[in-house]
Amino acid sequence: MAQQKSIYVCQSCGYRSPRWLGRCTDCGAWNTLVEERLAPARSRKGHHASPDGCTPVPLANVDVAATPRQRTAIAEFDRVLGGGLVPGSVVLIGGDPGIGKSTLVLQAVAALGNEERPALYVSGEESPEQIKMRAERLGLADKAVWLLAATEVETILERLRSIRPAVLAIDSIQTMWVGELESAPGNVSQVRECAARFVRWAKETYVPTLIVGHVTKEGAFAGPRVLEHMVDTVLYFEGDRSHAFRILRSVKNRFGSTNEIGVFEMTERGLEPVGNPSAHFLAERPRGAAGSVVAACIEGTRPVLIEVQALVSPSVLANPRRTSLGFDPNRTSMLIAVLEKKLGIQLFGQDVFLNAAGGMRISEPAADLAVAAALGSSFLERPLDPELVVFGEVGLAGEVRGIQHALLRVQEAARLGLRRCLMPQTNLRQIDGVPEIERVGVASLNEAWEVLFGR
């Protein structure tokens, strides 16, 4: 008999060590190693079951047309997947608790089930009654969806043999467990082993499988990250819970491009795709208000116009406030410093608040120039042209640098009826055939100020 061995597993990154350590040598986290007993090694037979054993195939003979995609009920979801679900593919959907993962997955699988082969929704978190209530709210109560409230993986796989579902949803992987491992559900080893078994099952049966994983807060463990390498596609569902907008972002996709996004709105009746995000983000824009400017950003491969709002007002504090919602605070500090040093704008006695309207998060440096323009507009109490759109990166020397996809941004701005574009000089020659929008190229913040405020 093989002897039971112990191993210490970092709950944050999954690093395995034969002995206990106070600090993980891989990710540097403290007190994250947890002892786990290993079951005696099982036979690895059947791990990669290919129908005809193990025979190499000439590349030229591989038939790609044989993998059609199944479209779900949600166009934005299909778009992020690269055109629909591929048979046998495993999709991990990560996100904060309460963001709408269960809703998205239920809506997505509902269209794929039929009389013969239903969609199977396995929940370890909610009872069938709760799920039914959600389905009623979503108008999906009559769809061919079967529910299974279970958490033990072998039992679930056993049931799957008789049900033969058209699509499988596991909600969530942190509630699943296998008996051979002694650690508790939600532990890295459990999460990994459970996911591995579902992946193996999906590859053997060609049933597309959606796995929900909670992104755990700092200090908690075993988030979807430790599974990213095992699955075909990783999608993160993001958004600010106080806003209705949700962004589904693909960070890995073996069957499509990454960095694609889908935009949704959480409504009374579930998630509604937002086909025209720019129009939504600009819908409530105040016209002629100081501190507001439209930035042209790129999310994935898609241009999105977002309103940047700044409020600069005299501070009574010794350390004035610097608050950025939706922007990287470090980048904001840098821009403030450049404005002070290069343009002599004295912001040190001022509270500065910055906000990306609609709860969007902007990480692109291409939004720099828009942020600077919004700050200047609020500081000077000078409203900007409401038909203006701004993009460009700002460097430490106050230079305005070229950015990628300038044409896409200008086209999107023109499509939404904006008439003027302040942009990097170096990007000007890439713009071709958008006559309805006037382009003004600048090479420095100084030049930009001249255009914006006529200084």
Stretch touching Mg ion by CB under 5 A, among 100-108, 267-275, 351-359, 367-375: 100-108
Query: Which residue from 157, 164, 161 is spatially nearest to 196, judged by alpha carbons?
Result: 157
Judged by CB under 5 A, the chain residues 102 through 131 that form the site for Mg ion are 102
Residues touching ligand TYD: how many (CB under 6 A)? 15
Q: How far is the CB of 173 from Mg ion (least distance, A)?
A: 12
Specify burial of residue 114 (Cβ count, 10 A radius: 0-12, 13-18, 19+). exposed
Number of residues that bind Mg ion (CB under 5 A): 1
Q: Which residue's CB is nearer to ligand TYD, number 128 or number 402? A: 128
Q: Name residues contacting ligand TYD, limited to 245-274 (CB under 6 A).
A: 266, 268-270
Tell me which of ligand TYD, Mg ion, none is bound by residue 344, counting a contact when its beta carbon lies within the kind-specific cut-off of 5 to 8 angstroms: none
Structure tokens at 450: 């001249």
* Interface stretch with ligand TYD, choices 51-59, 132-140, 246-254, 297-305 (CB under 6 A): 132-140
Stretch that binds Mg ion, among 98-106, 240-248, 383-391, 432-440 (CB under 5 A): 98-106
> What whole-number distance in Å separates Cα of residue 93 and Cα of residue 104?
9
Q: How far apart are CA 378 and CA 386, in angstroms?
A: 14
What's the closest the beta carbon of residue 172 comes to ligand TYD, in angstroms?
A: 8
List 33, 34, 92, 99, residue binding ligand TYD (CB under 6 A): 99
Contacting ligand TYD (CB under 6 A), which of 11, 32, 89, 102? 102
Q: Which does 266 bind (CB under 5 to 8 A by kind): Mg ion, ligand TYD, none?
A: ligand TYD
For residue 218, the partner it binds in Mg ion, ligand TYD, none, with Cβ less than 5 to 8 A by kind, is none
Q: Which residues bind Mg ion (CB under 5 A)?
A: 102
Which residues in this chain contact ligand TYD in the complex, by CB under 6 A?
95, 97-103, 134, 137-138, 266, 268-270
